[in-house]
Amino acid sequence: MNTPLNDSTVLVIATRNYGKTKELTSLFQDCPYDFQSLADQNIVLTVEETGLTVEENAMLKARKYMELAGLPCLSDDSALEVSCLNGEPGVHTKRYGGLENSSDQARNDYLLKKIRESQSTDWSAKYVSVISIAWPDGEIMIYKGECYGKIIPEFKGDLGFGYDPIFYLPELDKTMAELSLEQKNLISHRGIAAKKAIEGLKTRM
């Protein structure tokens, strides 16, 4: 990440997820801000996601990390919503089935088990991303993106993270984990939210 010229141009990416940090850094590479990580700010606290919605969690994390850093903070909260599970895992995506500290493989296996138990033939799903940016002056920005697909029972690809290997995109005939980072940024829920966020950030310069 770049060394900032002054505090007014710094934006802290508030996540400890390596895959998400990589994606966000790539998505905002042309944005007129100098991005830093929580590690750059020596912040070790993990903010608990106690919100009832993706939007609430995104705002909660952005605001808390902004208070800790004393700098504007950008936070992303994402969710996978599966139709036959009535929108689960939803806001519990990262800790679905009590598996927050388990591997992506374990969470994917658990999701597939739940879908099979539903005995539904509708495996359609969507990814949702909400990007929130909190500013020391009290302003909170919110941007949302969605990406539609379906869950498949076999794992394909090793380029993504989370549920990407089983999230299939019919129009591309690939899972999210089979896409390069550049391809993913063009169509993903996070990519869509980031495009909106970049336009909002430009108004702050």
List active site positions. Answer: 77
Compute the residue count for the chain.
205
Query: Could you give the CA distance from residue 94 to residue 58 in angstroms, rounded to a whole number?
Result: 13
Secondary structure in 3-state letters for 9-64:
HEEEECCCCHHHHHHHHHHCCCCCCEEEECCCCCCCCCCCCCCCCHHHHHHHHHHH
Burial class (CB in 10 A: 0-12, 13-18, 19+), 40: middle
C-beta neighbour count of 8 within 10 angstroms: 12
Query: Could you give the CA distance from residue 193 to residue 110 in angstroms, rounded to a whole number?
Result: 28
